[in-house]
Amino acid sequence: MLHWQKRILVTGGAGFLGSHLCERLAAEENDVICLDNFFTGSKRNVAHLLDKPNFELLRHDLVQPILLEVDEIYNLACPASPVHYQYNPVKTVKTSVMGAINMLGLAKRVKAKILQASTSEVYGDPREHPQREAYWGHVNPIGRRACYDEGKRCAETLFFDYHRQNGVNIRVARIFNTYGPRMHPNDGRVVSNFIMQALNGKPITLYGDGLQTRSFCFVDDLIEGLMRLMAAPDDFTGPVNLGNPDEFSIKELAERIVRLTGSSSMFVHEPLPSDDPLQRRPDIRLAMERLDWRPGTPLEDGLGKTIRYFRGIL
């Protein structure tokens, strides 16, 4: 008889990060339930898993409760790019807050371990650089990005309150910019934007002077970090930063993508969007110390794989 190690629920499992996580968990012979409402996720991202006996796909919106028997929950469901989370900001807040309540309620009931995919956006436009987990952030609670930033901050609050009040076994990961194959081509994120513009020979849009900085973590490294956090001792709840501490200016990223794609695209400058952080870089000492984790994929290698994926879907 087949024996699966664990029953694991991945919410947002047909999304960019979720599909890579489902793939890894299924490959390790866990019984994986992928839950998604396909607002930004795509069935195509998990199509190659559908014939696996230990993989199940459910169409469900996390704003509604669901009854399942599981050992672990990875709560990844939420649109994560400005284009998508600002499209329906009320829905974004509901997904973060009511989704967290529903999943924490499930974890409490079935005594499952639960991991929240939080975000570096909880730091807002940071006054501290690089950002440590102890930093409380600098967020505009009524800005256009607040539906995502404050939704994720509230979800963290709920996780720690369920942990303190009900003894729920939680993990909180603060995910910094991540890129790789299966990113949504129209998600408005800088890596996918630049690659699509370069491959289509369109002008590359730089906001402001392009000197604002970001740190880019390849998806395989990030998934490894999430799995290590879930497997960590129960006294380690996080929050813990997961991201790549190597910092690049947006202009530098654009120049690399133009070179790697062999594109003739020129740069055009647009005004900086409101509340767009000027610097973003994780301090990952806690992840290195407690999870023995650090990203290992150089930017050039990761960009090469991502460009090949986008060429394939074009």
Contact 64, 99 (CB under 8 A): no
Contact 150, 94 (CB under 8 A): no
274 burial via Cβ count (<10 Å: 0-12, 13-18, 19+): exposed
- What are the phi and psi torsion angles at 190 (to 5°)? -65, -40
* Residue 309 annotated in active site: no
DSSP-assigned letters across all residues of 186-252: TS--HHHHHHHHHHTTPPEEEETTS--EEE-EEHHHHHHHHHHHHHS-TT----EEES---EEEHHH
Contact 82, 57 (CB under 8 A): no
Distances in whole angstroms, Cα of residue 146 to Cα of each of 93, 215, 271:
9, 21, 20
Q: Which residue has the tokens 């008889």?
A: 1
Residues 6+ apart with CB under 8 A from 253: 190, 191, 194, 214, 216
Q: Which two tokens stand for residue 137?
A: 């952030």
Active-site option among 148, 162, 207, 309: 148
| Cross-sheet strand order for the sheet of 31-36 | 55-59, 31-36, 7-11, 72-75, 113-119, 170-175, 240-242
Just list the catalytic residues: 148
